[in-house]
Amino acid sequence: MTTEESAGTGCPFTGGAPAQLREPVGAPAVQPSEGSPPGTTAYAHYARMDSLLELQHPLSAADTEPGFIIMSQVKELLFKLLHTEFSTARDQLRKDQLDDALWTLRRSARVQQVLLVSWETFSVLSPVEFAEFRDVLGSASGFQSAGYRRLEFLLGNKNPGMVEPHRGSVSYHEVLNQLHEPSLYDEALALLARRGLLPEDEDPARDAARPYRAGEEVEAAWRVVYRDPVRHRDLHLLAEALMDTADQFARWRYTHLVTVQRMLGAKPGTGGTDGVSWLARISEHRFFPELWSVRSAL
């Protein structure tokens, strides 16, 4: 293709973008907005981009280690965003703002999709490529992620023993406090009780660090909702939104398992776990179990 022909296609990769899409000649330099320090732009200052982009420090010469670090950081940012969204939805349920909670869970579902896709960048690492920098990880492991542990607790998977890996870290108290806060599922069940579908909790002062309220009466309450979705339309929508959340996390765990199998085989995990065997066990866990078991009774 000649230069003239490529120019007519408007292809941005050949330098032939239409005139109306080209950068204007002599465009003024971007100036810092009021309050932005010299040497940066308003965009970089607002989102602290300069600081963010300085946080990658590979410890090996492996070409693939920068990507591993960056995507690990991306996942932690997504954990933080999900924590914000799920906390908001929980608080909205507590205030009987169910429509608002459903909209918040709609947003969180999109974040979960991005989080799930993030495994794709790890799955293409060959065992040889990962081995080039695995030793520099030492005992570092995603098992130690305070952000992910807080998500587990926030959604209702409470296990006091899982606080211990964070003892001595700056995030210890955040993880511990999350253990003692009501979960998203706690507030969903409290809403069912206020609607008269679930008996009031016999232990209203129950320590939130204990596992959420469970049992046949909880499944029975959800069964009422599912058997008359027109009458209980908003609760039916809530049940399915919670199932979307649980479904995405189940996929996340399974994809984690398969990715580690692909990179490590049956080798032990860097964080002291038994690797694939441990991941296989936790991949069987389901958030909001009564929403899963009720399906067998419909």
* pLDDT at res. 206: 67
Per the listing, tokens 């205030």 go with 95
In the chain, % of residues over pLDDT 90: 68
Is 32 a residue whose pLDDT tops 80?
no
Higher pLDDT, 67 or 36: 67
Model confidence band, residue 3 (pLDDT cutoffs 50, 70, 90): very low
Considering the chain, what is the average pLDDT of its residues? 87
Other CB atoms within 10 A of residue 201 CB: 13
Is 231 a residue whose pLDDT tops 70?
yes
* pLDDT at res. 207: 72
* pLDDT at res. 91: 98
Full DSSP string of 79-111: HHHHHHHHHHHHHHHHTT-HHHHHHHHHHHHHH
Q: What is the mean pLDDT of residues 135-144?
A: 85
* pLDDT at res. 19: 53
The 10s digit of each residue's pLDDT in 194-205 is 999 999 876 666
Is 21 a residue whose pLDDT tops 70?
no
* pLDDT at res. 5: 45
* pLDDT at res. 9: 47
Q: What is the mean pLDDT of residues 170-175?
A: 96
Is 7 a residue whose pLDDT tops 50?
no
* pLDDT at res. 38: 85
Model confidence band, residue 24 (pLDDT cutoffs 50, 70, 90): low
* pLDDT at res. 35: 72
Higher pLDDT, 146 or 12: 146
Is 273 a residue whose pLDDT tops 70?
no
Q: What is the mean pLDDT of residues 40-45?
A: 91
Decide if 254 contacts 283 (C-beta within 8 A): yes
Q: What is the mean pLDDT of residues 229-258?
A: 96
* pLDDT at res. 139: 82
* pLDDT at res. 93: 98
Q: What is the mean pLDDT of residues 210-232?
A: 91
* pLDDT at res. 141: 80
